[in-house]
Amino acid sequence: MAERVVLHVGTMKSGTSYLQALLFADKPRLAEAGVLVPGAKWTDQARAVRQALAPRQGGSRPRWTAFAEEVRAAPGTAVISMEYLGPAHPHTIASVVEALGAPEVRVVVTARDLNRTLVSMWQETIQNGRTWTWAEYVADAQAKRPLTGAAPVDRRTPGGTFWRQQDLVRMVSDWSGVVGAGHVVLATVPPPGAAPTVLAERFAEASRVALDTDRDVTTANESLGLASLLVLRRVNELLAERDLAFPAGQALRKRTLAKTVLAARRDAEPALGLLTPPWVREQTERTTAALREAGTRLVGDWTDLEPVDVPGVAPDDVPLSDVHEAALDAIAGLVAEQVRKRG
């Protein structure tokens, strides 16, 4: 039985892809030190956790069952990193913790400032097939922000989707309610300009896992330029009109079109920018105050959660000719990828 399990549960867009790549790159050395990173690759963890989070409805969950058995058989520490765990319902959290069967469970929540997160999360929703405009996304995130008496989140709405993944107070509270507040640690993403190793060092301290934080890793979670994002959003609309709403064609539209073809244009396009709105500052102050009042354990600094202006432009500032060029490049890139695959 594993003596200790570390669960890294997000939030989304808080350096999770980087930390996951680092964990698996360091997997052989960690194994020698008695630390299991279960699964041959990170997608094994993702698939297993998705089964754990899915309603059971009497069916079997073979990936999750085998995964939990691997963790229980580990003699030392096991580390699981999957941001989908963060917003899980308390009943599901309890079920996951029970299945892992460790005497000690340590939960690490990584978090980035709200303004940068807004920009990154809209991009992620577009890459995941959504069709909300940037203006719709920001407006609904404001309308549904927590700690203001807003209605419960609805995953079908932009704001509901955002806050389900980014309500730090609820996330920390729900996990603390199952494993105990003393076993939940918040690690903040440092401000822009900090070396990636700073986040790795903070994660190592929060998890008490001696990572090789100097290891150079790359991730596949590429960002897109704004013209490409506008193209992809429109593609999502057109596919939905053809009864091919996401996840139909997920591999082609996300892995090939977004992550391969359009990501290659990033340096040639302006990025999405956002000057910090007043409501983002207000929400940050409320969130930080609630976490501090709850006695949340912190690695990093509370000031890291203060919103940071994101340099870039608004969607309306992108010339239509740039969007057309990105669309043509997308068509050519998709054709080229298919030709290469067919030899």
Tell me phi and psi for residue 77, to 5 degrees. Answer: -110, 145
* Distance (Å, whole) CA 162 – CA 216: 31
Minimal CA–CA distance to 283: which of 183, 159, 176, 132? 159
Provide the pLDDT for residue 342: 83
Provide the pLDDT for residue 152: 59
Residue ranges in 109-253 assigned as alpha helix (H): 114-127, 134-143, 158-166, 168-179, 196-207, 226-241, 250
* Distance (Å, whole) CA 283 – CA 267: 32
Whole-number CA gyration radius for the chain? 20
Provide the pLDDT for residue 337: 85
pLDDT tens-digit profile of 132-168? 999 999 999 999 998 765 555 677 899 999 999 999 9
Q: Are 38 and 78 in contact, with CB atoms under 8 Å apart?
A: yes
Provide the pLDDT for residue 87: 94
Instruction: Provide the percentage of residues in the chain whose pLDDT is more than 90.
Output: 84
Provide the pLDDT for residue 149: 59
Tell me phi and psi for residue 14, to 5 degrees. Answer: -115, 40
pLDDT surpasses 80 at 58? no
**Mean pLDDT, residues 27-49 taken together:** 95
Provide the pLDDT for residue 151: 57
CB-count exposure of residue 283 (10 Å: 0-12, 13-18, 19+)? buried
Provide the pLDDT for residue 210: 92
pTM over 0.75: yes
